[in-house]
Amino acid sequence: MTSSVNFFVRIVAGASATVRDAYERIARVAVRRFGRTILLAITLSTVLGVHAAHADIDIVVAADNTLTHLNPAQTANVFLSRTGTLPNGEPATPVDLNELSAVRDRFYRSIVGRTGPQMKAYWSRLIFTGQGEPPRSANSPEAVKKMIVGTPGAIGYLDSADVDKRVKVLLHLP
C-alpha cells in the first residue's frame, strides 16, 4: 500500500486539471474494487503527504535573541561551519534535525543546494581534515526548540507549522 500512497502523493502534488481528472478516475476504480475504507486511507495519506511536501521552513532562534533577521547566505555560512558567529557577534550553535527528516533535506536543498548524502560527504571531509564540526542534531521539532531555548546563540530550522512563541523567525523559506 505504501507504493500506492506515494503514487497518489506524486499525482496530486502540483496537480493540473488533467491530473486531477486522472486521480478521480483512479479513485472511482478504488471504490469499486476495494470499498470506501481504502479510498479514505489513500485520500488522507495523499492530503497529509501533499501538506508535508509543500511545507514552508523557518530559520529560528530563541525568542529573546537580539537578532531580527538573517539572509540565506548568512544562514548557509552558519550551517556549513564557515562562520562561528551570528551577525550580532554571538557564538553560533546550529541545530539540525536528524538525517531522516524531510524538513532537513528540504532546508539544505533550499539554502545550499545539496542533498542529504552530499551533506554527509561534506561533513565527513571537514571532520577528517579537522576544519569543522557538523551542527548538533535533534530528533524532533520539539527537541530543536528545547536546544534553541536552552543554548545561547543556538539557531535552527523548523517546519513553519512547528514554530511557537518560544522561538523567533529570522528567515522564511517558502
pLDDT at 85: 97
Shared-domain flag, residues 29 and 92: no
Shared-domain flag, residues 74 and 90: yes
pLDDT at 55: 78
Angle at 88 between CA 66 and CA 79, to 5 degrees: 105
Shared-domain flag, residues 75 and 47: no
* pTM of this prediction exceeds 0.85: no
Could you tell me the three cell numbers for 116? 542529504
Shared-domain flag, residues 66 and 42: no
Could you tell me the three cell numbers for 56? 514552508
DSSP E strands, the chain: 57-62, 93-97, 136-138, 154-159, 167-173
Shared-domain flag, residues 28 and 65: no
pLDDT at 9: 45
CATH number of the domain bearing residue 131: 3.40.190.10
Shared-domain flag, residues 154 and 81: yes
Distance CA 81, CA 85 (A): 9
Report phi then psi at 159, rounded to 5. Answer: -60, 140
Report the domain count for the chain. 2
One-letter amino acid at 72 equals P
pLDDT at 21: 63
Shared-domain flag, residues 80 and 161: yes
Structural domain boundaries, residue 144: 57-173
One-letter amino acid at 4 equals S
Instruction: Point out the domain boundary residue: 10, 31, 53.
Output: 53
pLDDT tens sequence for the chain (174 residues): 444 444 554 445 445 555 556 666 676 666 676 665 655 555 555 545 444 455 799 999 999 999 999 999 999 999 999 999 999 999 999 999 999 999 999 999 999 999 999 999 999 999 999 999 999 999 999 999 999 999 999 999 999 999 999 999 999 999
pLDDT at 17: 52
pLDDT at 45: 53
Shared-domain flag, residues 88 and 39: no
